[in-house]
A and B are shown apart, each in its own frame.
Chain A
Amino acid sequence: MMIILYLFAYFSILTFCGLVIKRILKYKNMPVHLRWELYPVAHEPFRNKYGGSYYEEVEWWNKKNKKDHLAEFWVMFEEIFLLKGVYVHNKKLWLFSFPFHLGLYLISATAIIITCSAVLDLSSIISILNAQNIFGKIILYLTKVTAYSGLALTFIGGIGLLIKRLSEKKYKFYNTPLDIINLLFILILTISISATLIFSNSSFTLSEEFVKNLFSFNFAAISNKLFIIHIVLISIFLLYFPLTKMMHLFAKYFTYHNVRWEDEPNYKGGKLERRIKEALNFDIGWSAPHVRTGKTWAEAATTLPPEMKNVE
């Protein structure tokens, strides 16, 4: 029986990674699009303060336009970790959304620490979580803080979001069963993780052991029933996550870097021009008569239907 649990865990982890990578590649490999940036563009040096661009200069193409990558990083940091946009535009939601997200980050951080600890211990490099020295104790203590605060924040935030979704008209109107299930699922997970931590996994020993077993293909028996339920729930969540809108976590990189801040000008002979030429040669299949004047996009754009031909 135990092997099924392990196989299920492998399956869910691999599926999760596979689907996340697939989604990322899908966004990444899409063709070049027409420019659609939105100001402020974070990497615009100095002018990013008020939303200016290089178009504010006469003959902008003769000016060196450096990018302020640090500013871009900082805006991204504020957006991801502080949810600044929500804070500025929707404070009432931020009160719950911020703890919810921060809590999830802390829980993820805990999972990463446990995984790292397991890998390092397994490869006999160093013991972290179960080291008996002062270093190990500090790490263990900090990991506990991360885990418990993460769980508490996620739970409080999640309850708040759920109440808002179920009680306020502007949310209720658009709710689908899936929206509620997403939140409920996360709340159930926080309860299951908390229960395991409190009752049987207070020093993350079971978790670390399980991760080690996964890495070493050692399908050792797990006697703790609560922990088994916990593994099953997490595995289901890993399978479920990539099918939901929670993937916005990864999409956000593209909405910002590839759309809002994508202000690359097109110069003759450049890489961008090559990509544009490629796109212009795509076959066009729209059906409206005024568009059906050529096989490729470029042909359609350069061939006018009779009713549009110059009358001069």
Chain B
Amino acid sequence: MSNNKNMRETRYSPGINSIKEFAEADERLAALDPEKYLKLPYPYDDWVDPPIKELTDEQKNRLEHSLDGLSAVSIPKPETSKDKEELVAKFLAGLKKLFSKENNWTFVQPFTLSMENCMKCQTCSDECPIYISSGKEEIYRPMFRGEILRRIIDKYLKPGGKFFQKLTGSEFELNWETVARLAELSYRCTLCRRCAQACPIGIDNALITREIRVLFSEELGIAPAELHSAGTVKQLKTGSSTGTNPTAMRDIVEFIEEDLKDLYDVDIKLPVDKEGAEILLLHNFGEYLSWPENIMAFAIIFEKAGINWTLSSEMGAYDSVNYGLFYDDVQFARVALDHVAKAKKLGVKKLVVSECGHAHKSLIPIADRILVDDNIIFRESVFPLLEEIVFNGKIKFNPKKNDFPVTLHDPCNIVRAMGIVEPQRRILRKLCPQFIEMEPHGVNNYCCGGGSGFAIFQGKNFPEWRNKISFRMKFKQTLEAFKDNIDPSIKKYVCAPCSNCKGAFRDGLTYYNAFEKCGIIYGGLVELIVNAMEDMEKPFIQWELK
């Protein structure tokens, strides 16, 4: 896959030369030339990515793809001029609603502040992993989306006429291409908010991006299938975005119990719907299907620590996923309310969110402003609890069992957006003698590249873009953290305590062949905790890239 020089013959479009071209250009607006991508360190210093594969002719004919050759949102090309006009008119109507306190009370204040006060100082640009990894594609600059939106607003929503438009540079025509490109562009940002953190004024380009997504979803009914029809809709309907129903959930739990016995000689019954339990532990259901060892590790820890806990098989209470966070406030509220209703039904004292970043942020701080009256239930992160368990002496640990290089990935939603920084580190410092920090880390971390839903986007050529561009910075950081032990004979572990981040690592490490080339695998935090338990006879961590 690497070093495919023949592929260099592919011709790349020149990219965008002026902001007006966003509306007017016939050609693709991003060059996406692999030669320009962010360079990776040894042993990837001579790695050349093949170009991102083109959509099929059928897809090209059917779907809007003129932004950068990708189609994350799958917007069909309008057939008649009436369809085109309608798209533009609806977009403008939605844009107005974003500024209305009734429709958009959820974010109107931060959104308005961000839209009205950007000084175009470009301080945010170099903080964006996507912009940098792509070789500084202009359209991926963090403030680019906001700037397009501002010019549309100046021209179409503000009084002032032609003279004012000249002054504000907003003379370009709003056509359906602009609208469709903007929709696509709102899915080239992981909402990691690293740019917002750097902005001296406090402008949040991630929020602007998110609000563009909200506009498209709540006004035009346009959203990627992975988030909407196969995401929140499926979750509300079946209880999980994976489509798993309660009966199947209970079956999976049984399989996991069997595996625990077969693989690790651990005889544990996972509590499901236990009455009188203190804690309802809420997993991302992806863990049950893709990383059952994470579910097992939690069970081992909680049982050994004597925690009074339960899982729920109640529809909606066994999957912590809430993709509404990424694109639609109403869908977000529906899923969050469902989670809370089910937790209340079980009568637990508190709801604890396990290793899933966006579920943390959804259920703990964000849902905090949706819940009123009896819906205000106690919700917390699992990391402080894990820290307490690791340090309270009830379980004996032998850190020598974890004597291999370990680095930590900080999920943006847990760390930058919630300030849960140290509990997971204190655990790693205690249990992993070769723990190495990535640089930068903590609240300054880089996103895994799978944020805002990207980890589950598996359609068309999007996964390629994710692996090559949005995961790239994280991969570079990982290689740098392990640079002194990069030989594949030394097994190394990236602790990524978040389901979506693990999804991004799985696909990214596989694309870069990182296990064979460097001996790198990834996994959660609880796996390391269990692996270090004195009384676990068999090693818990399996050295393979799953």
A contacts, CB < 8 Å to B? 26-27, 30-41, 44, 47, 50-61, 79, 83-86, 88-90, 93, 97, 170-171, 173-179, 181, 245, 247-248, 251-252, 254-256, 258-260, 263, 265-268, 272-273, 276-277, 279-280, 282-291, 297, 300-302, 304, 307-312
Contact = CB atoms under 8 A, between A and B. Distances in A.
A258 B193 contact: no
Interface string B159-195: 0000000111110000000000000000000000100
Contacts of B102: 282-285, 297
Contacts of B121: 86, 90, 93, 97
Contacts of A252: 117, 201-202
A288 B350 CA distance: 35
Contact of A31 (B101, B117, B416): B101
B117 to A, nearest CB: 4
Interface stretch (B292-300, B380-388, B491-499, B529-537): B380-388
A103 to B, nearest CB: 16
Given A276-B370, A277-B372, A259 B204 contact: yes
Given A33-B107, A86-B123, A286 B218 contact: yes
A309 B94 CA distance: 26
Interface string B134-158: 0000100101000100000000000
A85 B103 contact: no
Contacts, number: 290
Interface stretch (B36-44, B234-242, B509-517): B234-242
Contacts of A171: 120, 122
Contacts of A57: 384
B480 to A, nearest CB: 20
Given A263-B419, A285-B102, 15 more contacts: A35-B369, A38-B416, A39-B419, A177-B169, A259-B113, A279-B106, A284-B103, A287-B90, A288-B217, A297-B102, A301-B330, A302-B334, A308-B232, A308-B237, A310-B239
Nearest to B127: A89
B370 A93 contact: no
Contacts of A301: 330, 333-334, 337, 370
Contacts of A26: 112
B348 to A, nearest CB: 13
Given A39-B443, A59-B380, A308-B334, A256 B110 contact: no
B331 interface: yes
A61 to B, nearest CB: 6
B365 A93 contact: no
Nearest to B108: A30
A126 B221 CA distance: 68
A276 B372 contact: yes
Nearest to B325: A34
B119 A309 contact: no
B418 A55 contact: yes
Contact of A254 (B109, B369, B378): B109
Contacts of A259: 109-110, 113, 202, 204
Chain B, interface size category, equals 35 or more
B420 A311 contact: no
> Quick one: which of B119, B166, B246, B374 has the most chain A CB within 10 A?
B119
A257 B376 CA distance: 24
Nearest to B247: A312
Interface string B320-347: 0000000011110110010000000000
27 contacts: A32-B369, A33-B105, A38-B193, A38-B417, A40-B419, A51-B421, A52-B419, A55-B384, A55-B418, A89-B198, A93-B123, A170-B125, A245-B119, A247-B117, A251-B113, A251-B116, A255-B117, A258-B113, A266-B369, A272-B369, A276-B372, A277-B372, A285-B102, A287-B93, A288-B218, A290-B330, A291-B328
A164 to B, nearest CB: 10
B236 A85 contact: no
B254 interface: no
A60 B378 CA distance: 9
Nearest to A35: B365
B117 A248 contact: yes
Contact of A310 (B90, B169, B315, B365): B315
A311 B350 contact: no
A75 B246 CA distance: 50
Contacts of B331: 290
A53 B443 CA distance: 11
A31 B422 CA distance: 33
B423 interface: yes
A58 B382 CA distance: 8
Contacts of B141: 170
Given A181-B167, A245-B118, A307-B233, A39 B106 contact: no
Given A33-B110, A311-B238, A265 B421 contact: no
Nearest to A178: B167
B289 interface: no
Contact of A255 (B122, B201, B236): B201
A-B complex: 7 closest residue pairs judged by Cβ atoms: A53-B419, A255-B202, A176-B169, A51-B443, A85-B200, A288-B221, A30-B109
A267 B375 CA distance: 11
B202 A34 contact: no
Contacts of A304: 236, 334
Contacts of B237: 307-311
A2 to B, nearest CB: 32
Most chain A CB inside 10 Å of its own CB: which residue of B107, B245, B365, B388: B365
Q: Name the residue in B113, B197, B337 with the highest tally of chain A Cβ atoms < 10 Å from its Cβ.
A: B113
B109 A33 contact: yes
Nearest to B330: A291
A57 B102 CA distance: 35
B341 to A, nearest CB: 10
Most buried by B among A26, A59, A248: A248
A143 to B, nearest CB: 29
